[in-house]
Amino acid sequence: MLIIGIAGGTGCGKTTVVNQIINELPAEEVGVISQDSYYNDLSHLSIVERKKTNFDHPQSIDFDLLEKHLITLKSGKSIQQPVYSFIECNRTDKTIPTHARKVMIVEGILILTHPKIRDMFDIKIYVHADSDERLIRRLKRDVNERGWELDETINKYQSTLKPMHDQFIEPTKEYADIIIPNNKYNTVAVDIVRTIIAEKIS
């Protein structure tokens, strides 16, 4: 199994890059795991308290469960991937059956911050985007898709997202094997990754 880690700051376009990479590849041979599925269970907190949680700090992720699941998949067995609700800011009681594939892509802002998880990746990718562009994407997503107030999102960006990005996420760029600029010129980098995957599954 080839495990690929795709990281980058909030709103950098990781999902777009993932879709570009797996496009044209056989769906039954490539699987995707989202870091968002592995946020800690916060059922013991109220929705108000959950919204105050720093989700951009590595401690917000259940890396132990993610590691356990990656090991299980690598052994050829299936897992029950948690389902996360951005509206409730918590894991739901639902899971998604996720089967072992020749290639597993793990994507998330913090996946390169954890040494054990990082060491499990055969290829480490960092998606780079301009900070203004990332802020705009994050504002649109939180307000339109996740039910946050505009002022609430801006305050969170200034107080939490940007400091956490500078402290934890941006420095992980140094671990990346490939840095993909998320703009119209990223096609060569995406094609290289797709070629590596195609060779693995051929």
**pLDDT of 9 above 90:** no
- What gap in Å lies between CA 73 and CA 51, rounded to an integer? 32
User: Is 2-201 assigned to CATH 3.30.70.20?
Assistant: no
Delimit the domains of the chain by residue range: 2-201
Tokens of 119: 């060491």
pTM, to two decimals: 0.86
- What gap in Å lies between CA 155 and CA 147, rounded to an integer? 15
The model's pLDDT over 10-19, given as tens digits with 9 standing for 90+, comes to: 777 788 888 8
The model's pLDDT over 77-134, given as tens digits with 9 standing for 90+, comes to: 999 999 999 888 899 999 999 999 999 999 999 999 999 999 999 999 999 877 767 6
Q: Do residues 134 and 32 touch, judged by C-beta distance below 8 A?
A: no
Q: What is the pLDDT, as a whole number, of residue 183?
A: 62
**Confidence class of residue 184 from pLDDT cuts 50, 70 and 90?**
low
SS3 state of residue 76 = coil
Q: What is the pLDDT, as a whole number, of residue 185?
A: 59
